[in-house]
Structure 1
Amino acid sequence: MLHERKRFHFDNLYFLNPKQYEFFTLYQIGDLCCDSGYQLREHTQVCYEISYVMSGKGWFSTDGTRSDVEAGDVYINIPGEAHAGGADAKEPFRYFYLGFLFNLQPENGYRENVESPFIHIQKMMDKRETPLAKDRLDMQHTFLSALREFRSLSHYSQVMTQTYLNQLIVLMYRNFFSDWDSAYHAEPGDGATGGIVYDAISYIDTHMLTMKDLAEVSRELGYSYSYLSHLFTEETGISLRNFYSQKRLQKIIELMKSRTCSITEIASTMQYQSIHSFSRAFKKAVGLSPTEYIRLYVKDERDQA
């Protein structure tokens, strides 16, 4: 006999009064733990949704196509889809979820807008090939931090929740879509648009720690910076500068997690003029200072090891 009981359900619903953030509008965030056999009846999505499986096994479906899921899986839905889910017949099931709409919607067009950096993420979600991916970037920790903040609202909670929700959306994007640069299939050096972009990616990967600026890439490849930047955006959907910034941030976090370099040494390695300029740039990108990030994330990983 199948059980249909929720063990606990922490649900923040904002459909009647959505919470406005800078780049998206929040409709729902929560944590559901249910007994084996529990089923979530099919419904039509009215917003984008990110689901993260915390423990157990279960399933989600999109437009009738079912996917089995387990701890560490990430599942995404987009507006208009028919979505359902449930727990395994033998195991309890716990998952986190986040429902939102991007503030720049498709009817406005996918135009370049420096004020709306999530527009590329929206575009990629809309054309994703699969709704399921494995988490490689510790979304669990960020979800827990966000849910903790919603449970105990206090001074600066709006700032903290925006930081955590921004991170969740970006981490989802990276889990699903950011491998395109390493899986790029164009032949390098063939002179075609794809080859030029591949050469630019390869140069950045190889010279990350020695590059002075992006103009160096265009000089080495023999093209003007404006031409190379235009080709890169047309081919990948993301600007060359944003790609470079993402790769630098990935390297910085990699160095932090290695625990072999001090913050000052990381700033020097990444060619920042001072520890202060490094700290400002890192906080602008992540929402936390380098010291806060290490204390919250790197320390936690060391404790769990």
Structure 2
Amino acid sequence: MKAEKLGKQFHFDNEFWDEPLSCGWIDLYQLGEISCEHGFEIEEHEQFVHEVTYIISGSGEASVDGKKIPLREGDVLMCSMGHQHAIRAAERDILRFAYIGFRFNESSDLNDLAILKACYELPYILVKDRHDVMDPFLRAINELYSKTLLWYQMLQSYCEQIVIQAVRDSKVIRKSWPERKSESRSVSTEVYKIIQYVGENVEQITSVRQIADTLCYNYTYLSHFFARVTGITLQKYISQKKIERARQLLKYQEFSVTEIAERLNYESVQSFSKAFRRVMGVSPTAYLQRERHQMEAYGEETAQRRESQ
């Protein structure tokens, strides 16, 4: 992925074209994050590697072999090697995205990855993120810059997660994956079903009753059952997951406290702030200021390290 400096707010690009990093069953050629100003375009180029692009915020348009593909926040675009690819930010929006460029190496033949590799043989796949692909992306970039203890092993793990999670919701892999035999419903299965639903829909959930209605449970039974098995009420669990999501939005994205409160379906900014303080011990504003201070300090430290190399 190549881009001129003009039109970029920032660009953290890490290239390994001469000596790709061996990360398990993939070879890593490129990993980074970019924030593009209005209308900025990464011109059409041939893909020499498979590429996964995660839209962190904003909107824009990609093209693969001339086909236009609208991009929105939370979209995951996979483009295969050998195809023509371009990305452009919307005329009135800033487009921020993370990306990874890789190839499958010989060790991938030793693993059960045939279905996964088949997905990356298609020109492109576009899905909505339901598995929080942003998290391993940003963690991988952080490991690459910080290079703390066992950073290489962590980088390998995150890169493999990205490649797998990016395609897990694609129709291709769903059709190809062998059907599992139905299993008897156990306590752990029931609880996990609820936990998975909360994890995938935490922003839209407004109440325990909403979950009960959606998953066809009796409201009273669901509340008592979840608390008895897990030792925590479902309402408290939802609150914790919402605050966990709020922390991600505050730390990695460009949303105000008010926007996050609305996004997470709180009745008001005050109720969100109260819930946040109850879990974190500080207000959302204080948490955001602390994170920004840490990021600034980290950026200065990284710049100094680069200058000394």
Q: Is the 8 A contact 1:59 1:67 kept in 2?
A: yes
The aligned counterpart of 2:116 is: 121
In structure 2, what residue type is equivalent to 1:157?
A: W
Q: 1:124·1:177 contact (CA, 8 Å) conserved in 2? A: no
Q: Which amino acid aligns with 1:118?
A: L
Matched, 1:207 2:149: no
C-alpha distance after superposition, 1:109-136 (max 9, x if no partner): x9xx5x32333211122136x5321111
Shift in Å at residue 67 of structure 1? Answer: 0.8
Moved over 3 A (4+): 208-211, 250-253, 255-258, 301-305
Aligned to 1:174, what secondary structure does the other structure show?
Answer: coil
Question: Can you give the 5+ residue segments of structure 1 that lack an aligned partner in the other structure?
Answer: 185-196, 212-246, 267-296
Match of 2:244 in 1: 300
1:72-87 equivalent positions in 2, closer than 5 A: 72-87=74-89
Tell whether the 8 Å contact from 1:49 to 1:100 is kept in structure 2 after alignment: yes
Match of residue 196 from structure 2: 254
Change (3 A) 1:125 1:180: same
Q: Which amino acid aligns with 1:146?
A: A
Structure 2 CA distance for aligned equivalents of residues 45 and 163 of structure 1: 24
Alignment partners' CA distance in 1, 2:41 and 2:198: 41
Secondary structure of the residue aligned to 2:169 is helix
Deviation at 1:89, TM superposition (A): 0.8
Is contact 1:255–1:261 with CA below 8 Å preserved after alignment? no
Shift in Å, 1:14: 0.3
Aligned-pair distance for 1:254? 2.5
Shift in Å, 1:175: 2.5
Which protein, 1 or 2, shows the higher relative CO under an 8 Å CA cutoff with sep ≥ 6? 2
Alignment of 1:125-164 (within 5 A): 125-127=120-122, 130-164=124-158
Is 1:166 paired with 2:168?
A: no
**Contact kept in structure 1, 2:136 and 2:158, CA below 8 Å:** yes
Distance 1:101 1:40 in 2: 21
> Counterpart amino acid of 1:122?
K
Native 8 Å contact 1:256 1:298 kept in 2: no
The unaligned stretches of length 5 or more in structure 2 are: 203-224, 231-240, 249-263, 265-309
For 1:27 and 1:179, the matched residues in 2 are separated by: 25
Equivalent residue, structure 2, for 1:227: none
Q: 1:28 maps to which residue?
A: 30
Among 14, 17, 23, the alignment partner of 1:15 is 17
How does 1:186-225 map onto structure 2 within 5 Å?
Answer: 201=180, 203-204=181-182, 206-207=183-184, 209=186
Judged with a 3 Å threshold, the aligned counterparts in structure 2 of structure 1 residues 179 and 119 are, in CA distance, closer, same or farther, namely closer
Question: TM-score, normalization: structure 2?
Answer: 0.58
Residue 303 of structure 1: CA displacement? 5.0
| Deviation (angstroms), 1:300 | 2.8
State the AA in 1 paired with 2:16: Y
Aligned residue identity for 2:125: P
The equivalent position to 2:170 in structure 1, one of 155, 171, 176, is: 176
Relative to the length of structure 1, the TM-score reads: 0.59
Secondary structure class of the residue paired with 1:127: coil
RMSD over aligned CA atoms reads: 3.7
